[in-house]
A = this chain, B = another copy of it.
Amino acid sequence: MSACPLLDYSRLCIHTATTKPWNLETACTEYARAGVRGITVWRDALEACGPMRAASVIKSSDLEVVSLCRGGFFTHGSVLERQRALDDNRRAIEEAHIIGAPLIVLVCGARPGQPLSTSREQIADGIAAILPDAVAAGVKLAVEPLHPMYSGDRSAINTLKQANDLALLFPPDSVGVAVDVYHVWWDDTLPDELARCGRNKRLFAFHVCDWKLDTNHILLDRGLPGEGCIPIRAIRAQVEQAGFTGFIEVEVFSQRLWAMDQGTSLTHILHSYRNHV
C-alpha cells in the first residue's frame, strides 16, 4: 500500500534546522511566501532573538508552530548533571509555551560507558520529573527514537517499540512519539509499532528526510526525500493508516544543503515534498 501524492503544502512543516543559514525572521517570511503552513523551531534559532521576539515574528508570518526541537538528554553521571538536564528541559518548556509550540521533541540521551538499560531508566525518570511542568504549560512531549548509530552518545531509545513502551508509562495526551523515517525505516517491526502507536493515540509527529547510500557524515549528511532509499511514501501510508493527520515535517541536516543559496534549497525541499513524500 502507498499513499497519494501531496498536492499542496497545507500539511508541510519545515524545521528551521533544514534552512539553518536563515535566521528565524527570514525562515518565517520565506516559508510563508512559498505556501508552507507549519514551522518547527530549533532552539538555536531562538537564541539570536529570544523567545518573546520569536513569538511575534512567527505570529506575524501566520505559520503554525508544530513543535520545538528539542529537549531531552536526560542521561547523567551525577545528581548535579541530572539537575542541569532537568533545568534545561524546563527552559525548553517555557520557550515552547512562549512561542506557542504545543509539543517538544525529545532526543533522550545516552552516556558513553553507561549501560543503555541504565540510560533508559534515567530517561524515564527525567520525563517523569519534567512532565508536571509540561502539563502546566500545555506542552506535550514526544519521544523520538533515534537510529541505532546514535546509541553511543545521543539516545538509548533506538526503536519505535522502545519509544512506544516509554510513552505508555505516562498518561495519554502528555507523552507520545515523534517518528522520523530516517531513524526507523529499516525496522521490520515498524508497521506493527506504528499501528500500536496510533491505537494508543501516541503518534504526535512525523518527520521525513532520506537515507543517502553514500552518506559521508553520521549527523550532517541526510538527504532530501527522493535522494535516498527510504520508502517514504509507503511509510507515510502506514502513519496515516495509524490515524495521523498532522503536519509532515521536513527535517534535513545537510552540510551540502546549508552551503547552497537557501532560496534554491527551499525550492528543492518543495519539489522533493511533492514528488517523494
A104 CB to closest chain B CB (Å) equals 24
Size bracket of the A interface: 20 to 34
Question: A114-157: contact bitstring with B at CB < 8 Å (1 yes, 0 no)?
Answer: 01110000000000000000000000000000011101110000
A216 surroundings in chain B (CB, below 8 A): 217
Q: How far is the CB of A247 from chain B (nearest CB, A)?
A: 26
Select one of B113, B115, B117, B211 contacting A152, CB under 8 A: B211
CB neighbours (8 Å) of A115 from chain B are 231, 234
Asked whether, in the complex, the Cβ of B188 is within 8 Å of the Cβ of A152, the reply is: no
- Which of A115, A152, A234 has the largest number of chain B CB atoms within 10 A? A152
The reply on A186 being an interface residue by CB < 8 A is yes
CA distance in complex: A234, B118 (Å): 14
Contact (A215, B218) CB under 8 Å given A186-B158, A229-B112: yes
- Enumerate chain B residues within 8 angstroms of A113, measured Cβ to Cβ: 229
Residues on B with C-beta less than 8 A from A215 are: 149, 218
Q: Are B117 and A188 in contact (CB under 8 A)?
A: yes
Bound together, the chains give a CA A216 to CA B221 distance in angstroms of 12
A159: chain B residues at CB < 8 Å are 188
* A102, CB-defined interface residue at 8 Å: no
**Cβ distance A92 to chain B, nearest Cβ, rounded Å:** 24
| A148 adjacent to B186 (CB under 8 Å) | yes
Among residues of B, the one whose C-beta sits closest to the C-beta of A217 is: B216
Distance to closest chain B CB from A118 (angstroms) = 11
> In angstroms, how far is the closest chain B Cβ from the Cβ of A75?
12
What residues of B have a CB within 8 angstroms of the CB of A218 in the complex? Answer: 215, 218
A213 in the interface (beta carbon within 8 A): yes
Q: Which residues of B contact A228 (CB under 8 A)?
A: 152
What 1/0 flags go to A150-173 for Cβ under 8 Å of B?
011100001100100000000000
Q: Considering the complex of A and B, which 4 residue pairs feature the smallest CB-CB distances, nearest first?
A: A151-B186, A148-B186, A112-B229, A152-B229
Can you sample 26 A-B contacts with CB below 8 Å?
Answer: A112-B213, A112-B229, A113-B229, A115-B231, A115-B234, A116-B186, A116-B188, A148-B148, A148-B149, A148-B186, A148-B187, A149-B149, A151-B185, A151-B186, A151-B211, A152-B211, A152-B228, A152-B229, A153-B213, A153-B229, A158-B186, A159-B188, A162-B188, A215-B218, A216-B217, A218-B218
> Besides the contacts A158-B186, A162-B188, what 7 more A-B pairs have beta carbons closer than 8 Å?
A148-B186, A148-B187, A151-B186, A152-B228, A153-B229, A159-B188, A216-B217
